[in-house]
Structure 1
Amino acid sequence: MYVADRWEQFELIDTGDGEKLERWGGYVLRRPDPQIIWPAEDSNSGLWKEASARYYRSSSGGGEWKERVKLPERWSISYGRLKFYIKPTGFKHTGLFPEQAANWDWMMDKIRQAGRPIKVLNLFAYTGGATLACASAGAEVVHVDAAKGMVQWAKENAALSNLADRPIRYITDDVFKFVQREHRRGNRYDAIIMDPPSYGRGPNGEMWKLEKDLYPFVESCTGILSDRPLFFLINSYTTGISASVLANILTLALQRKHGGTIATGEIGLPITASGLVLPCGILGRWEL
């Protein structure tokens, strides 16, 4: 498992009974997680009871935060030199997936050790964690997401991290159509990152379904890799898709043409109270 264990301003304090207790800078949040099917030692006392806010699911879908203390509209946390705005949303998320720090460290090392200019394409790029990591390591980055609000959030994270002057291009678009246009334009990338959802819609109603669309999309993306590709990273949070599936996709779409090596596995966060690791998704990495 790839564990993001270098955080100082984020901590997964405890887990149990379908919930997790997390410290995000100066605030402790309590929210559900379907992976946590083991019992909590005591979720009605201590920090559990004193959480700054707790997310409650609604039977009609979505949910809401109940605050014990007044939260600011947003606040920031740091990971090394990277800084991110945190804002609890109506869908229980905070705008950041801290387990991805395990990937940020790997990508930054690859870019710094390349010894040449690297151009990165970040697809389904969300609020820009990977974008900031790659830009801070010296790469030129194209950041693509279909949600205008997420692209704006990414820009604000870049400014917060003092990376606003780096060569980052922000695109609000359907990622599949964007890749097709890059084919026609002849644009090429040394590294591609993608974090596709299980289901999604583009800005004009385009439908995405991972089980149907992931392999042809990865195959299409290989057509815009440079002659000296550095890496290709796929993240997935889709239930029922195993890391071996990502290995097979990367083998067929990349390794048989370019050689290189593939690594796959779960990605997770250490739990302070129990010493366990919470699995948070899977990844597939191809690299030369």
Structure 2
Amino acid sequence: MSVFKSEGQWPRESYQLLDFGSGRKLERLGGQLLDRPCPAAEGFQRNGQVDWSKADLRLDRRGKPIGPGPRELPVWEARYQDIEFGLKLTPFGHVGLFPEQHVNWQWLTQQAPLPYSRPLRALNLFGYTGGTTLALAAHGIEVVHVDASSPAVAWARRNAEASQLQERPIRWIVEDARKFVRRELKRGNRYDIVVMDPPSFGHGPSGVRWDMQSHLPALLADCLQLLATETARLLVTGHSEKPDEWDIQSWIDEDLQAMASGLALDLSVGRLGLTDLAGRVLDAGYFVRGIAP
């Protein structure tokens, strides 16, 4: 299994992991220094190279500001290549950017070399603030971006405008991922690339409940049917303990064996990681990748 480090890819002014330990991480995001909870940092000692007291904002386990500093931060920005992200603190302690995903953006675009004989189509489920969508769109790929949260989709659209990508062929859909995929199957639509970053739990429009352990297998099976046989690319990422990357790989293998379409995927699994100033790697979740041979 490979661990992909994120060092050397982000401009220092946009993102740095400075230190982690004792269940927390210290990051510079677009010029703001944040001290946030991080379960993956449990059991580690801090590297001692950084003054944590200089954090602009410190959050508790609920994502709420603590300490004598400010209670909130104004909206600010971070840039990755030609993509600009508007950042803001959410009620859950997120800021609208998961920097470890950049290695997946690189992989996706490397698997779709220019020029194309026809426009490639991608489906991005649980698309959040649009990092993957914009990376694909910047590479000339048509994208359907789906998220059950209307504020998240609006945030992604603002990022597209800030990145000068608002005229690219992107469809913005506010809907439950499972319902949208089932409808696409009925319509006979197909995609070259399917990407998803599902949460462990959640609620969609009208209170539709999502439980990853219960609902992901059926969604994966449907998404495999959406993939074009010769150009298929699949990416699943997550942070869940169960299912983990091996469970997901097993589900995909079982589905492929049962399919009559002839779809085949070479699968690989691995861990994402962020590297601090001392060269230590902080685990940042898993990936499962599939590519038509």
Q: TM-score, normalised by structure 1?
A: 0.92
Query: Which among 10, 24, 29 is matched to residue 29 of structure 2?
Result: 24
Q: Cα deviation per residue 1:79-105 (whole Å; 9 max; x = unaligned)?
A: 111111111222111111110011011
Q: Does 1:39 align with 2:45?
A: yes
Q: Distance in 2 between matches of 1:238 and 1:46?
A: 30
Letter in 1 for 2:108: M
Pairing 1:164-175 to 2, within 5 Å after superposition: 164-175=166-177
Q: Cα deviation per residue 1:166-222 (whole Å; 9 max; x = unaligned)?
A: 000000001100111111111111110011111111101211111111111100112
Letter in 2 for 1:22: E
Shift of 1:252: 2.2
Q: Does 1:10 align with 2:11?
A: no
Identity among equivalent positions (%) equals 37
Aligned to 2:111: 110
Aligned to 1:213: 215
Aligned to 1:93: 94
Other structure's SS at 2:106 match: helix
Shift of 1:4: 2.3
Query: Which among 285, 288, 292 is matched to residue 284 of structure 1?
Result: 288
Contact residue 75 and residue 87 of structure 1 kept, 8 A? yes
Unaligned runs of 5+ in 2: none
Over 3 Å counting, the alpha-carbon distance change for 1:2 and 1:73 in structure 2 is: same
Other structure's SS at 2:183 match: helix
Q: Cα deviation per residue 1:48-90 (whole Å; 9 max; x = unaligned)?
A: 01111110235xxx53355736865211111111111111222
Over 3 Å counting, the alpha-carbon distance change for 1:71 and 1:206 in structure 2 is: closer
Query: Which among 223, 246, 266 is matched to residue 244 of structure 1?
Result: 246
Contact residue 264 and residue 282 of structure 1 kept, 8 A? yes
Q: Structure 1 runs of 4+ off > 6 angstroms?
A: none
Q: Distance in 1 between matches of 2:39 and 2:198?
A: 19
Over 3 Å counting, the alpha-carbon distance change for 1:227 and 1:67 in structure 2 is: farther
Shift of 1:113: 4.4
Shift of 1:229: 3.1
Q: Distance in 1 between matches of 2:284 and 2:257?
A: 26
Contact residue 112 and residue 138 of structure 1 kept, 8 A? no
Contact residue 265 and residue 284 of structure 1 kept, 8 A? yes
Aligned to 2:274: 269
Mean Cα displacement is larger for which, 206-215 or 165-174?
206-215
Q: Cα deviation per residue 1:217-256 (whole Å; 9 max; x = unaligned)?
A: 1001122222433301101111243322222122223477
Over 3 Å counting, the alpha-carbon distance change for 1:72 and 1:56 in structure 2 is: closer
Q: Distance in 2 between matches of 1:244 and 1:224?
A: 22
Other structure's SS at 1:40 match: coil
Letter in 2 for 1:54: R
Mean Cα displacement is larger for which, 194-203 or 138-147?
194-203
Letter in 1 for 2:270: G
Query: Which among 154, 157, 169 is matched to residue 155 of structure 1?
Result: 157
Letter in 2 for 1:285: R
RMSD over aligned CA atoms reads 1.9
Q: Distance in 2 between matches of 1:280 and 1:241?
A: 15
Q: Distance in 1 between matches of 2:211 and 2:34?
A: 31
Letter in 1 for 2:77: S
Contact residue 86 and residue 96 of structure 2 kept, 8 A? yes
Contact residue 229 and residue 264 of structure 2 kept, 8 A? no
Q: Cα deviation per residue 1:150-169 (whole Å; 9 max; x = unaligned)?
A: 00000001111110000000
Other structure's SS at 1:204 match: helix
Contact residue 145 and residue 175 of structure 1 kept, 8 A? yes
